[in-house]
A and B are shown apart, each in its own frame.
Chain A
Amino acid sequence: MTNLVASALPSRAGWRRTGPAMVSAVAMVAMIAVCSSLQSEVLTVPGLALVLSTTVPLVIAAQAQMVLMAVGDIDLGIGNFVGLVTVITATKLVSSPGTGALLLLGLVAAYAVLGALIHLRRVPSLIATLGASFVWLGLGLFLLPTPGGSTPEWLASFGSWQPAGFPAPLLPILAVAALVWLLSARSSVGVRVRALGSNPVALQRAGLRPLAARVVAYAVAGGLGVLSGLVLASQTGGGDVSSASSYTLITVAAVILGGGSFAGGTAVPWGVAIGGITLGLVSVVLSLLDVPSNMQSAVQGVIVLAVLAGRVVVGKVLR
């Protein structure tokens, strides 16, 4: 009897895990279908590139959020952090590339230190990262009080890169998702990080240090945040510390849509990519549908609630 149930389990469990990402994927495909039915050029390579380009920095930032949520934390500073990176990119990285690069590395280190302090002082990451977001904002305004600046040439050329065969934005989205997947799902570092989110007691019993795992997670998140800022700067061609402030909460929603959870322990890089694109596409669909852009955030909110409600229903059915 037990064995019969057990053999039936994996498929159900697998569905339960990939379900959220599947629902998001269906929503994503539906959105692209709607877009293409309204504007047939969407399905061409330049059309897809145009539609997808705005979602790239969001998806990368969502990967950063996902890494922190895998250890059971949450980052409310990622939006301003990405904004700060665009500012550094548009100022120091142009004037003196060496200093700029050092500054960006320093930001990654700052994230690692933040993670260490959160762990050692046992404070909620929610509030600590919120406090840090003030600091990122302040630093950004300090460097560049009003939006402006210019991006380094190599970055600008990346932003305007238009390969013939496929939509350019897919490359960074897929590359980063693959990288995060390798790191979080395949490597031993990823096992440590997920183990910390899943069962810290087991981690300690095995003689592994939770502090190290948390610091690594924060450093990776900081690195991804820097990457997101670089991409955003390449698209906007300048720096603006508040250009990504909406990312903070949307990235959390993207992780949830992609199948992540607040409890920690799960890494869903592919789901996060889908969730991020879905949320990013909302504005495109609405503008094509001639719905006032005002409704964009409401639609995002309803999508998030609907997906979560769906999950509750699915969870009850599968039980």
Chain B
Amino acid sequence: MHVDNLPVGSHAAPPQGDRTPSPAPPVVTARRVTRTYGRTRALTGVDLDVRAGEVLGLVGHNGAGKSTLMRVLAGLEACDEGTVTVGGQEASRDVAPGTGPFRAVRMAYQETSLCPDLTVAENIWVSSRHCLPRLGWRRAASRAVARRLDEMFPSHRVAPRDRIEDLSLAQRQMVEIVRASLVDRLELLILDEPTESLGPDAARSLYAYVRRLTAQGTAVLLISHRIREVLSVADRVAVMRDGAVVAERPAAGLGEQDVLALMGAEVVEPTATPAPARAAGERPVVATLRGATGHGLHDVSITVGRGEVVGLAGLAGQGQQQVLERLWRPVRRDTTVAGTRAYVPGDRQRSGVLPLWSVAENLIVTAMRGLARYGVRRTGAEDVAVRDWVDRLAIRGGADAGMTELSGGNQQKVIVARAFASTADLVLLDDPFRGVDVHTKTDLYTLIRQEAAGGRSVVWYSSENAEMAHCDRVYVLRAGRVVAELTGAEISEERIIAVSFAESESTGAQR
């Protein structure tokens, strides 16, 4: 068996010439699949068929469960309930990628799964070693990867001896896709945001290759934020929302607006009463970014007034965190921040929780500095502040509970309280409410409004567009640029979704 044998075999369905989805046998089937992380239900019962020889587009907003579903379909993790069937074989509970039925399912990851210190050929060995000869694997892998790169991306300029860390982002993405496709038998190829860092030419040649693959009976699952792109390539489109597939439609005849509507633009969340919007000009300015460029930002200008809640919206990773980073550490000339700052991190486990400490210790660590005299803590004043905040936010377990004994929502309360307990003038929120239960969220929204009314400024990045209703003003970012500024009644989930997905021809070539 050779690595670059294309999957033409008895298992594959007869080639399909036309694009009309015909009832070909499904290569992968998911039935009532659920998956829970801690208290977050990432998948709430997914039913999905991927049929041989089709391109199935998978769309959905942030946190709809796309990533988790892909990981389950690729055999990277098992589902809690339900079944996943690959090639007619039901997957067992102790799954491992590349074993059993999952050997014929390959996935190209958005963040790539390449080893940066290894060469292209060596990375191919890591993922496709069972299709390579024991001796001379390097030459075989080099030849295979070079040939496949030529087929998929004629202008790749990647040599098999190049190290991944020396490649550009686009080239890494190409290698990642080629890596996933190089296997002796390929039934399903999962592409996660494959064109995110590719230029328009590379994207075109990729999709041309995808067409050739499907013509030979391979199924392709395409995940992308670029809805127009999905519609032009896919045979069918599956829409995910809140951990389930809510619609499966043929792509033909479907418009961008239809998909956006299916994705949740029509959902009416319990409405929060937005504060009466005051124009930014009426307030004294606390922080500004003037044409900030570099580190993923392009000419971003933002002002934050005193007592104002400013939202940063858009798809994940479009530069919102870079804006927060600049405000947190205003070292560049294009950023000015008057007053002290506090930061509420979104990645609780990594940069929020101090795991060995109690709730009280976690809560007071920022405020401690302001309360202390000559570097010596004033525990009395600290205790008062802690008790006040524990009561105010109703933190379960009380001040003396271990931080890690708390639920995610209560941990997040402590970390939010940590920032607001300090005397900071500007509080930066880095999508802190992802995976937090509704009650906690409501408490924290109220807190934010109260604190803003008290004269504090808040800059709030959120991937949940509904949250933006609590802001006075919202900047929507895409590809490191501010593409819209919404105020007061303009702020709505539909508007934000529409603005963040709207494609211009240039976005593909940006990076």
Is the beta-carbon distance between A2 and B168 smaller than 8 angstroms?
A: yes
Is the beta-carbon distance between B129 and A188 smaller than 8 angstroms?
A: yes
Is the beta-carbon distance between B165 and A13 smaller than 8 angstroms?
A: yes
Neighbour of B115 across the interface among A2, A17, A198, CB < 8 A: A198
Residues from chain B with a CB closer than 8 A to the CB of A186 are 138
A197 contacts B by Cβ under 8 Å: yes
Quick one: which of B117-159 are within 8 Å of A by CB? 117-118, 122-123, 125-127, 129, 134, 137-138, 155, 157
Is the beta-carbon distance between A9 and B167 smaller than 8 angstroms?
A: yes
Residues from chain B with a CB closer than 8 A to the CB of A205 are 76, 97, 109, 113, 127
CA of A136 to CA of B168 in the docked complex: distance in angstroms? 47
User: Main SS of the interface on chain B?
Assistant: loop
**Residues of B within 8 Å of A, CB-based: how many?**
33
* 0/1 interface trace, chain B 83-102, chain A, CB 8 Å (1 if under): 00000000000001111000
CA of A205 to CA of B115 in the docked complex: distance in angstroms? 11
A265 contacts B by Cβ under 8 Å: yes
A266 contacts B by Cβ under 8 Å: yes
Neighbour of B118 across the interface among A9, A10, A14, A194, CB < 8 A: A194
A208 contacts B by Cβ under 8 Å: yes
Is the beta-carbon distance between B117 and A265 smaller than 8 angstroms?
A: yes
Residues from chain A with a CB closer than 8 A to the CB of B99 are 207
Is the beta-carbon distance between B98 and A198 smaller than 8 angstroms?
A: no
Is the beta-carbon distance between A191 and B118 smaller than 8 angstroms?
A: yes
CA of A192 to CA of B76 in the docked complex: distance in angstroms? 19
Is the beta-carbon distance between B166 and A9 smaller than 8 angstroms?
A: yes
Neighbour of B170 across the interface among A2, A194, A199, CB < 8 A: A2
Residues from chain B with a CB closer than 8 A to the CB of A194 are 115, 117-118, 122
CA of A222 to CA of B102 in the docked complex: distance in angstroms? 37
A3 contacts B by Cβ under 8 Å: yes
CA of A14 to CA of B119 in the docked complex: distance in angstroms? 12
**Residues of A within 8 Å of B, CB-based: how many?**
30
CA of A2 to CA of B171 in the docked complex: distance in angstroms? 10
Is the beta-carbon distance between B168 and A5 smaller than 8 angstroms?
A: yes
Least CB distance from B146 to A in Å reads: 16
- Given A199-B114, A205-B76, A6 contacting B125 (CB threshold 8 A): no
Is the beta-carbon distance between A195 and B129 smaller than 8 angstroms?
A: no
Least CB distance from A262 to B in Å reads: 13
Is the beta-carbon distance between B168 and A207 smaller than 8 angstroms?
A: no
Neighbour of B155 across the interface among A3, A9, A202, A206, CB < 8 A: A3
Query: Most chain-B Cβ atoms within 10 A of its Cβ — which of A192, A204, A205?
Result: A205
Residues from chain A with a CB closer than 8 A to the CB of B76 are 205
* 0/1 interface trace, chain A 39-82, chain B, CB 8 Å (1 if under): 00000000000000000000000000000000000000000000
* 0/1 interface trace, chain A 270-288, chain B, CB 8 Å (1 if under): 0000000000000000000
B511 contacts A by Cβ under 8 Å: yes
Is the beta-carbon distance between B199 and A2 smaller than 8 angstroms?
A: yes
B163 contacts A by Cβ under 8 Å: yes
Residues from chain B with a CB closer than 8 A to the CB of A208 are 126
- Given A188-B137, A206-B127, A265 contacting B98 (CB threshold 8 A): no
- Given A188-B137, A197-B117, A206-B97, A10 contacting B166 (CB threshold 8 A): yes
Closest to B169 in A: A2
Residues from chain A with a CB closer than 8 A to the CB of B168 are 2, 5-6, 9
CA of A98 to CA of B99 in the docked complex: distance in angstroms? 44
How many contacting A-B pairs (Cβ < 8 A)? Answer: 82
Closest to A17 in B: B163
CA of A208 to CA of B122 in the docked complex: distance in angstroms? 14
Neighbour of B167 across the interface among A6, A195, A198, CB < 8 A: A6
B274 contacts A by Cβ under 8 Å: no
Residues from chain A with a CB closer than 8 A to the CB of B157 are 3, 6-7
Is the beta-carbon distance between B98 and A206 smaller than 8 angstroms?
A: yes
A308 contacts B by Cβ under 8 Å: no
Is the beta-carbon distance between B116 and A265 smaller than 8 angstroms?
A: yes
Is the beta-carbon distance between A2 and B125 smaller than 8 angstroms?
A: no
Is the beta-carbon distance between B117 and A266 smaller than 8 angstroms?
A: yes
* 0/1 interface trace, chain A 199-231, chain B, CB 8 Å (1 if under): 101111111100000000000000000000000
Residues from chain A with a CB closer than 8 A to the CB of B113 are 199, 201-202, 205-206
Neighbour of A188 across the interface among B115, B117, B125, B155, CB < 8 A: B125
Is the beta-carbon distance between B162 and A191 smaller than 8 angstroms?
A: no
Residues from chain A with a CB closer than 8 A to the CB of B109 are 205
Closest to B129 in A: A188
Least CB distance from A228 to B in Å reads: 25
Least CB distance from B17 to A in Å reads: 35
Closest to B158 in A: A6
Residues from chain B with a CB closer than 8 A to the CB of A3 are 155, 157
CA of A13 to CA of B109 in the docked complex: distance in angstroms? 25
CA of A265 to CA of B122 in the docked complex: distance in angstroms? 12
CA of A17 to CA of B129 in the docked complex: distance in angstroms? 27
CA of A204 to CA of B96 in the docked complex: distance in angstroms? 9
Q: What 8 A-B pairs are tightest by C-beta distance, nearest first?
A: A265-B117, A13-B166, A198-B115, A207-B98, A198-B117, A6-B168, A199-B115, A202-B113
A-B contact pairs, 19 of them (CB 8 A): A2-B511, A3-B157, A6-B157, A6-B168, A9-B168, A13-B165, A13-B166, A188-B137, A195-B126, A198-B118, A202-B126, A203-B126, A204-B97, A205-B97, A206-B98, A206-B113, A206-B126, A207-B96, A207-B99
A188-B137, A207-B99 known; 16 other A-B pairs, CB under 8 Å?
A2-B511, A3-B155, A3-B157, A7-B157, A10-B162, A14-B166, A195-B115, A198-B115, A198-B116, A199-B115, A204-B97, A205-B113, A205-B127, A206-B113, A207-B96, A265-B115
Residue positions of A touching B, CB distance < 8 A: 2-3, 5-7, 9-10, 13-14, 17, 186, 188, 191-192, 194-195, 197-199, 201-208, 264-266
Residue positions of B touching A, CB distance < 8 A: 76, 96-99, 109, 113-118, 122-123, 125-127, 129, 134, 137-138, 155, 157, 162-163, 165-168, 170-171, 199, 511
